[in-house]
Homo-oligomer: A and B are copies of this chain.
Amino acid sequence: MMRVRSAAAIAIHEFFRENEFFLVHTPVLTTNDAEGGGEAFSVTVANKEKEKNKAEEEFFGSPASLTVSGQLHLESAAYGLKRAYNFNPAFRAERQQSRRHLSEFWMVEAEMAFLDNFDGLLFWMENMLKSVTEKVLQTAAADFKYHMDHVAPKNHTALIEKMAESSFVRVPYDEAMRILEKHSMQFNTPPKKGENLHRDHEVFLVKHCGDVPVFVTEFLASCKPFYAREMTGDRSKVLAADLVVPEIGELFGGSLREHRYDVLRKKCQSAGQLETLGWYLELRKLGCPPCGGFGMGFERYVQFLLGIPSIKDAIPYPRWIDHCAL
């Protein structure tokens, strides 16, 4: 796993270099929270100093937390560099103990200025998944084969090969909901219009579509963060897509970004982020190019590639609630 993981990371850097993206180290310590999820870790100075002087508790002069996503920072970089990506640790203080949750994980995010085409955005995600996988199968061939022969589920190589050869399916959110509602008896949590899909919904949908990765598109605005761009003609929907893959569920999430100042300001306000995200709004104030991007959870990719059931086995030093060994 460690050697294939390393090869996958290098393949990702190569993919972006070949496509003229610049690597940007977005910050880990931040005073804003991209998704507004409230699952951020707080950062303070170490205890012994805290005791010395309680007033110094806020080292940065305002509360700082660990990043949950570098997307907004990456957008600001993309306006200067045209194409920017990061490959960063990200953090969620989630309390669930499951095979799907980590407190510390690595994420790849890409952001493109002058991207105004939703199909183009989907193509980037499909292209990246296929190219990176192809490269790993070349550069880590022996390690991959060993894992397939001795560790992975039996049909896993076939699954990866099918992914590489197929055109990915597109299913609009409404249609996905219709399909899921027809089979709602099968789910612990029934699908509910207006909400995001749960993992078991996603896995079912992929199976339903023939075990080929599926783009869920045309999301209801309520399912996605405030910065996703409204669809022309139907303002209840946004130009956002999740790419869901066999066994894993969501692997990529992406959207065109709302670049109109007035629209974004209103949405930012409704999300209660007007104060902390003033700088983000500023980027649009004097006009800016359309922008779009996506993010991929790196551990989920490693799981998908190698058929690893628990995400904790896809990272060398896993951290989750009550577990931070070493």
List chain A positions with a Cβ less than 8 A from chain B: 2-3, 5-6, 9-10, 13, 17, 22-32, 38-50, 59-66, 72-73, 76-77, 80-81, 88-89, 91, 93, 103-104, 106, 279, 315-317, 319, 321-326
Q: Which residues of B contact A64 (CB under 8 A)?
A: 324
Contact B27 A10 (CB under 8 A): no
Q: What would 15 more interface pairs be, CB under 8 Å, given A29-B91, A73-B316?
A: A2-B22, A3-B22, A6-B22, A9-B23, A25-B317, A28-B104, A30-B324, A31-B324, A42-B43, A59-B322, A60-B319, A61-B324, A64-B324, A72-B326, A77-B316
Give min CB distance, A206 to chain B, whole Å.
27
Nearest CB on B from A8, distance (A): 9
Q: Which of B61, B63, B77, B91 contacts A2 (CB 8 A)?
A: B77
**Which residue of B17, B40, B59, B106 is within 8 Å of A41 (Cβ)?**
B59
Q: What are the residues of chain B within 8 A of A65 when measuring CB–CB?
A: 46
Chain B residues with Cβ below 8 Å from A76 are 326
Say whether, besides A3-B22, A77-B2, A77-B316, A44 and B47 are in contact (CB < 8 Å): no
- Judging by beta carbons under 8 Å apart, are B326 and A28 in contact? no
Instruction: Indicate how many identical chains form the complex.
Output: 2
Q: Is the CB of B63 within 8 A of A47?
A: yes
> Could you list 5 A-B pairs, sorted by A, with CB under 8 Å?
A9-B25, A27-B104, A29-B319, A46-B93, A59-B103
Least Cβ–Cβ distance between A57 and chain B, in angstroms = 10
Q: Is the CB of A24 within 8 A of B2?
A: yes
Q: How distant is the Cα of A62 from the Cα of B326 in the complex, in angstroms? A: 11
Q: Which residues of B contact A48 (CB under 8 A)?
A: 38
Known: A59-B321, A324-B30. A24 touches B41 (CB 8 A): no
A41 pairs with B39, CB closer than 8 A: no
In the bound complex, do residue B42 and residue A2 qualify as a contact, i.e. CB atoms below 8 Å apart? no
Minimum Cβ distance to chain B for residue A208 (Å): 34
A28-B28, A43-B42 given; A60·B23 CB < 8 A: no
Contacts of A30 in B (CB 8 A): 324, 326
Contacts of A316 in B (CB 8 A): 24-26, 73, 77
